[in-house]
Structure 1
């Protein structure tokens, strides 16, 4: 069912298709806003649930969005009594901010044209994110800015030292900006030479780990994902890197058919519900992907093969998972730990003392767990 929004303009009721990557329902009340709108008024209306369809200058809309953001962030969440409560308060504050800022809307007209003064040409970025143009569509300005930012990432790419090349993320696919997990896979000891012909990369995303495995000498790598966007992104990157003859991208599923000498999985690290498309790369509801990997590993490994689990312990520091639960899950799946390599995060948030989750982030360790079948 196609959702629509309705508003009145020059005493005429108009409507447009509604789209939200976060599955936000269409706003019930929409009014037209332009350069005369004050930030305090916009913020108050957005908090009350009214959406503002912008028809003024594009750069003024961006300034208004920043002014609304500052007003939201004045009410920072109080620290929790423990890390778990702090996490939930932080998530609640982020959800509120997304709701309020998401009520400043723009209209993409025929062919994704953004007909605002001083507006950039957004058509190619929207085609990459949404596919072929449809009828006029209303989206939030903050979503459009995300689409434009993703377009720039896709054009420029992210340099991956382990590959000596760039990976080009697509919209809605988690970018490999946190390179420590890539380095773990690039440097971990490989299985015995007789057991390194085939590899699986589960939840491949951009395809970066599949490419690392191919560069490390595996003759055949199968990369899987459940996201159509990730599958298209991985195929694009495999082609760019000249690895299409050795890396097959398959899905949507977790495990492909057959067995492999090495099976690598870098699941989302936080067992909580994502609230946006991009957050699927960080949040794994109830640890579903982690459990799926562990319990399917033994039946997909060749004799003497290994499974590599790349996982941050941030969830442990936040009180969302314990080390005992992880080790118990490994044992229950008929697996044993061969070895473990650790690394510390290098991203700026790890040292940002203003981050409400700073204590947990500062203690975070990312590990590569080398797993083998018991017996």
Structure 2
């Protein structure tokens, strides 16, 4: 682990006073009242007891917030998040103390400085899911080897945009000395570029876990000599101009305060203006700027504005070379979410180049 970077992880809880206990024989209604009063509850005996309490809490709140409107959905999610995180599980020697609990390697890997503590059950569930992905790996259609995403790092579960980028890279005939991957995340785009012959890729990310996870993933292999990482926003410390800039930004405008994973899904107000301003300086004269995006914001009515289209119309910095679009596969019948709009969704690959005036061309000579 890169100890110079502070990992983002669930905050360990140490409580000195006694807690109300929950087990199979405990009155659930009384326990929920305890949670509503702001007091934490400790799960005892079996791990499944905690799952039962979460299920009952969800049913209770669904009756309170019937889910008939978008506002009620938001209120339900906020209430569930607040109360469920008061349901705690004890960890001793980096192991969950309740019986029949999953074995979660992150407890030892992420908490070197403490071995005995408490965590909210939803955070434990998140750690467990992340550990399974990390341990078993995920197959990505554009890569030969499995990815092993680090805790707290967003990784795609849909691959339409990656396939679009792969098709574009196959046809790319420009220089391949260097490229910059903004918001490198789990590193898939960078690995695609290395696969197609790029000599050096510089990757940035504001998420410390992305930097630590990729550093661990690459180890001392050839990848570590081809991919250079920096924890920072946009272009970070990289000042050298490059032939290719790749940006796979969040696809929806920001609504509320976000956690690390949400930052990969929702973009803040000034992200695109800041990016295009910086990209103008970083891109070599004949270089290409690739933005992977989607019409998700428009078809879900989250926004009427398309940030790439706005830049092309008003920015005065870049011009459109080509825009490729690919329809997204229809959602699974098994999903419980209302996703009728998925039939209208398209992922987009925008290729932009510098706008040059005659004065600019003369100054370059």
Distance change (3 Å), C-alpha of 1:308 and 1:194: closer
* Deviation digits for residues 174-212 of structure 1 (CA, Å, limit 9, x no counterpart): 122221121121111578635332111110001111000
Distance change (3 Å), C-alpha of 1:217 and 1:372: same
* Deviation digits for residues 309-328 of structure 1 (CA, Å, limit 9, x no counterpart): 11122122233332455422
1:176 aligns to 2:176 (yes or no):
no
1:226 aligns to 2:206 (yes or no):
yes
2:268 aligned to which of 285, 294, 302:
285
Structure 1: which 5+ runs fail to align? 10-29, 80-85
Secondary structure at the counterpart of residue 147 of structure 1: helix
Task: Determine the structure 2 residue equivalent to 1:309.
Answer: 291
TM-aligned CA deviation for residue 290 of structure 1: 3.1
Contact 1:199 1:260 in 2 (8 A): yes
Secondary structure at the counterpart of residue 315 of structure 1: helix
Superposition pairs of residues 252-267 of structure 1, within 5 angstroms: 252-255=232-235, 256-267=238-249
Structure 2: which 5+ runs fail to align? 1-10, 357-365
Task: Determine the structure 1 residue equivalent to 2:32.
Answer: 43
Between 1:322-331 and 1:308-317, the stretch displaced more is 322-331
Contact 1:158 1:168 in 2 (8 A): yes
Contact 2:330 2:342 in 1 (8 A): no
Contact 2:12 2:119 in 1 (8 A): no
* Deviation digits for residues 208-246 of structure 1 (CA, Å, limit 9, x no counterpart): 110001101111111111111001122233449852222
Task: Determine the structure 2 residue equivalent to 1:373.
Answer: 354
Distance change (3 Å), C-alpha of 1:268 and 1:303: same
Task: Determine the structure 2 residue equivalent to 1:77.
Answer: 67
Task: Determine the structure 2 residue equivalent to 1:336.
Answer: 319
TM-aligned CA deviation for residue 101 of structure 1: 1.8
Task: Determine the structure 2 residue equivalent to 1:212.
Answer: 192
Counterparts of 1:285 and 1:182, CA distance in 2: 23
Distance change (3 Å), C-alpha of 1:57 and 1:347: farther
* Deviation digits for residues 151-195 of structure 1 (CA, Å, limit 9, x no counterpart): 110011111111122111111001222211211211115786353
TM-aligned CA deviation for residue 352 of structure 1: 6.9
Contact 1:265 1:293 in 2 (8 A): no
Task: Determine the structure 2 residue equivalent to 1:18.
Answer: none
Q: Tell me the matched-pair count.
A: 341
Counterparts of 1:338 and 1:186, CA distance in 2: 18
Counterparts of 2:335 and 2:118, CA distance in 1: 38
TM-aligned CA deviation for residue 147 of structure 1: 0.3
Distance change (3 Å), C-alpha of 1:184 and 1:261: same
* Deviation digits for residues 41-66 of structure 1 (CA, Å, limit 9, x no counterpart): 33343334332122232222223222
Between 1:208-217 and 1:171-180, the stretch displaced more is 171-180
User: In angstroms, what is the RMSD of aligned CA positions?
Assistant: 2.7
Contact 1:274 1:285 in 2 (8 A): no
Secondary structure at the counterpart of residue 139 of structure 2: strand
Contact 1:207 1:238 in 2 (8 A): no
